């Protein structure tokens, strides 16, 4: 038996309903804040992610699905959305548009990781990017709309952790200081962290090993080393969030998997999720567009995991599709079939949700099916000129011509 590949899943109709509802909230909340939708290709040049996400990141080191396009070029199934959106911004000269350009996406992404609850190899993210604005208000606004979205979806027990990474220069200097600290405390580090001191010392804060965590408590913190303008920017983000009534915790050890962040960095987690607690994350990435070959352009954004939002939201209520008319057949003949088919088609043209009996059920079975679907009316076609219309709520039924079925329903007349 052939099954879906490990780490993937099928979106069945009930799941699709919840996703549609999620999308409705996304459209409403981001649309009202001036964001417009963008979609980029499912795969890109591998180079885009190597440069845009960072060679030292987990994503680039071990999570990408890369393949040869047959002509010797390496392509990669997109593992994240920010680098592709920036690539599109540059490619389409969006810096010539009035700034900032505010974009959102809802797409699937691919990472080769060990599958578990809330962690898949193909998953979906909603993302939002504000490109061409450098101020703290852009960051705060992004966090506010994200918080609103999580609230609208009913994502439970959320926590917001907030940090600032400062500039790459500050980070470089700090990196040296941290590396020295790690070297001096190698005995207190796990072998995995020790092996990565040079490659990515910041990740030591992320380690799950308790001894390493203990050692990192005494490590110098980047947020204590911020340059004056970065510190001022961050202070303003905090003021705006406090004004907006959004609670957050400062996290001096917040590290995220991507290399391109500058200044503001944040993550929403939900206690409702257990181990894979990250619901959404984002931050400012002022150097990315330049790094990808575009003009120096400040930008900020976030991405939220669709599966995790749905998991943490518990049961998002979905309304079952309404059926106005179910078209049943009293008998089977060419005439009946064609009349019934035409009736269902016309009902839809008149704006109704109409379903036609498509299996060979008995009349009793057809009425049962109409009841299961919650149909308001059932039309039973007897032949080309005879039908009866049953109001499923009142149980009333009367005879009429097939062509009078729709006008009768539209008039809402009591049968």
List interacting residues with ligand ATP (CB under 6 A): 80, 111, 113, 118-120, 123, 125, 256-257, 276, 278-281, 303-305, 307-308
Whole-number Å distance between alpha carbons of 396 and 408:
13
Nearer to ligand ATP, 19 or 308 (CB): 308
Nearer to ligand ATP, 35 or 377 (CB): 35
| Phi (first) and psi of residue 14, to 5 degrees | -65, -40
Nearer to ligand ATP, 304 or 406 (CB): 304
Least distance (Å) from ligand ATP to the CB of residue 385? 58
- Taking each helix axis from N to C terminus, what angle separates 136-153 and 228-243, rounded to the nearest 10 degrees? 40
List the beta strands (DSSP E) in 94-242.
101-110, 122-131, 158-164
Name which of 42, 38, 111 is nearest 75 in CA terms. 42
What residue is closest to ligand ATP based on CB? Answer: 305
Whole-number Å distance between alpha carbons of 402 and 387:
5
Nearer to ligand ATP, 39 or 229 (CB): 39
Least distance (Å) from ligand ATP to the CB of residue 368? 40
Least distance (Å) from ligand ATP to the CB of residue 304? 6
Name which of 251, 223, 239 is nearest 165 in CA terms. 223
Nearer to ligand ATP, 102 or 308 (CB): 308
Name which of 29, 160, 158 is nearest 104 in CA terms. 29
Q: What is the DSSP letter of 110?
A: E
Nearer to ligand ATP, 97 or 199 (CB): 199
Least distance (Å) from ligand ATP to the CB of residue 166? 20
Name which of 250, 241, 285 is nearest 140 in CA terms. 241
Strand partners, 126: 106, 304
Least distance (Å) from ligand ATP to the CB of residue 63? 8
Lookup: tokens for 289: 């567009």
Least distance (Å) from ligand ATP to the CB of residue 258? 6
């Amino acid at each position: 038996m052939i099954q879906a590949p490990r780490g993937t899943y099928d979106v069945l109709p009930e799941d699709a309903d919840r996703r549609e509802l999620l999308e409705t909230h996304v459209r409403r909340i981001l649309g009202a804040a001036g964001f417009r939708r963008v979609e980029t290709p499912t795969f890109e040049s591998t180079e885009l992610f190597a440069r845009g996400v960072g060679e030292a990141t987990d994503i680039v080191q071990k999570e990408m699905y890369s393949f040869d396009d047959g002509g010797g070029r390496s392509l990669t199934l997109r593992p994240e959305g920010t680098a592709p959106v920036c690539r599109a911004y540059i490619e389409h000269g969006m810096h010539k548009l009035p700034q900032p350009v505010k974009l959102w996406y809802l797409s699937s992404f691919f990472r080769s990781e060990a599958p578990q609850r809330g962690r898949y190899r193909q998953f979906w993210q909603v993302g939002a990017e504000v490109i061409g604005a450098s101020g703290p208000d852009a960051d705060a606004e992004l966090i506010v709309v994200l918080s609103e979205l999580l609230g609208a979806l009913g994502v439970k027990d959320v926590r917001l952790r907030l940090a600032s990474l400062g500039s790459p220069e500050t980070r470089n200097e700090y990196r040296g200081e941290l590396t020295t600290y790690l070297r001096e405390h190698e005995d207190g580090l796990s072998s995995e962290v020790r092996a990565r001191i040079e490659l990515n010392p910041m990740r030591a804060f992320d380690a799950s090993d308790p001894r390493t965590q203990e050692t990192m408590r005494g490590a110098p913190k980047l947020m204590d080393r911020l340059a004056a303008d970065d510190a001022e920017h961050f202070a303003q983000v905090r003021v705006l969030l406090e004004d907006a009534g959004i609670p957050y915790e400062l996290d001096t050890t917040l590290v995220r998997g991507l290399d391109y962040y500058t200044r503001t960095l944040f993550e929403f987690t939900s206690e409702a999720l257990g181990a894979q607690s990250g619901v959404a994350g984002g931050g400012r990435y002022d150097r990315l567009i330049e790094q990808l070959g575009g003009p120096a352009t400040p930008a900020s954004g976030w991405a939220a995991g669709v599966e995790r939002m749905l998991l943490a939201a518990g049961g998002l209520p979905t309304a079952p599709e309404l059926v106005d008319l179910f078209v049943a057949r009293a008998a089977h003949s060419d005439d009946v079939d064609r009349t019934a088919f035409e009736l269902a088609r016309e009902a839809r043209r008149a704006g109704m949700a109409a379903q036609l009996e498509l299996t060979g059920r008995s009349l009793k079975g057809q009425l049962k099916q109409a009841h299961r679907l919650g149909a308001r009316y059932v039309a039973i076609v007897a032949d080309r000129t005879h039908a009866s219309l049953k109001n499923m709520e009142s149980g009333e039924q009367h005879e009429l011509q097939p062509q009078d079925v729709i006008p009768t329903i539209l008039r809402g007349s009591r049968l």
